[in-house]
Amino acid sequence: MILCFDIGGSTIKTAHAHAPDDVRPLGRVPTPGDDFDTFTAILGDAIAAAPGPERVAISIAGVLDPETGIARVANIPCLSGRRLHEDLTEALGLPVDLANDADCFALAEATVGAGRGHDVVLGVILGTGIGGGVVVRGQLINRNGGFAGEWGHGPIAQRVLGRPEITLPAFPCGCGLSGCLDAVCGARGLEMLHEHLHPGVVADSHAIIAGWQAGEPQSARSMELWIELLAGPLAMIQNLLGAGVMPVGGGLSNALPLIEALDREVRARTLRRIDRPLLVPAECRIEPGLVGAAILGLANAAGESRLGGENSAVCEN
């Protein structure tokens, strides 16, 4: 059995995993963001209460540097700046597997979700922000940490777009750059874009999408530009990766017409013209972080077993 955690800035979720399709959520507790000892004590209590876990597998909202192993976890300060894999392995007394939450989502989709049977899967997150993960032949491309799949960052957002054409500013992003897709295409970014296009009109992302589906002109204009902003970069990523499918998760993915419209525009821009959907709704709608962590932990446990107990490569992102 693998003990799994999905750790975010607000809560720590726990599950027991017996197989990729047998992951049993147990509940959640608040995340102690400022005290590492308290943080590890919570994980330790879950280990003590579990029936003989082989190892711990963690999905976390952060990234490990692939060369130093140092973590950057913006919303959990007590974890940032640590060699997190080493520190947790020592504190918990069990083998530890770590993966970024978007990578866990992608791994879940590639293994038991919409990406089954495809060699290359890009998991696309359209939520509060923009993110993703890449799985190639069943393995995370981020096996040793890193930022692969973080397509929401980088100053690439199109500035001149739409019909009639408009020029957008390079909106500042929380990563410190300006012009990132994350700044303008996540849920908060869509709301900012809508207010920029229609001064004085404030609406949340759900209302904007509902207005677009109802044919409301201002919402339709905002969504036209939002789709154009995303379609070009996703087509470029498809030309680079040759993904068989791009499962879409995150809060914005709940609007199926949005995924369908974005899929049409992406496929119209790729070098290889695909006559089937490329962007599709994610199938792992419930706890994909726990499912992805479970898949990672189970695979690493099986790898060590085949090697007679020797250490196998540990995915640290």
The predicted-structure confidence for 51-76, as pLDDT tens digits, reads as follows 999 999 999 988 999 899 999 998 89
What does DSSP say about strands 11-19 and 22-30: parallel, antiparallel, or unpaired?
antiparallel
pLDDT at 174: 87
In a domain, 66, yes or no: yes
In a domain, 262, yes or no: yes
Statement to judge: residues 38 and 146 lie in one domain = no
Statement to judge: residues 38 and 178 lie in one domain = no
Assess contact for 46 and 5: CB atoms under 8 A.
Answer: yes
Statement to judge: residues 230 and 267 lie in one domain = yes
Q: Is the pTM of this model over 0.85?
A: yes
pLDDT at 158: 94
Statement to judge: residues 242 and 140 lie in one domain = yes
**Residue 158 belongs to what domain range?**
119-281
Residue with tokens 């579990």: 50
Q: What is the CATH number of the domain that holds 137?
A: 3.30.420.40
In a domain, 109, yes or no: no
Statement to judge: residues 191 and 158 lie in one domain = yes
pLDDT at 304: 62
User: Listing from the earlier edge strand, what are the strands of the sheet with 130-136?
Assistant: 139-140, 130-136, 120-126, 246-249, 279-281
Statement to judge: residues 272 and 123 lie in one domain = yes
Residue with tokens 């192993």: 69
In a domain, 16, yes or no: yes
Task: Report, as ranges of residue numbers, the positions in the chain whose pLDDT lies below 50.
Answer: 305-317
In a domain, 159, yes or no: yes
Statement to judge: residues 210 and 300 lie in one domain = no
Over its C-alpha atoms, the chain yields an Rg (Å, rounded) of 20
Statement to judge: residues 73 and 206 lie in one domain = no
State how many domains the chain has.
2
In a domain, 88, yes or no: yes
In a domain, 113, yes or no: no
- Torsion sign over Cα 216, 221, 224, 230: negative
Statement to judge: residues 147 and 88 lie in one domain = no
In a domain, 57, yes or no: yes
121/245 Cα distance (integer angstroms): 6
Statement to judge: residues 18 and 146 lie in one domain = no
Statement to judge: residues 124 and 268 lie in one domain = yes
Residue with tokens 């003590």: 48
Statement to judge: residues 251 and 293 lie in one domain = no
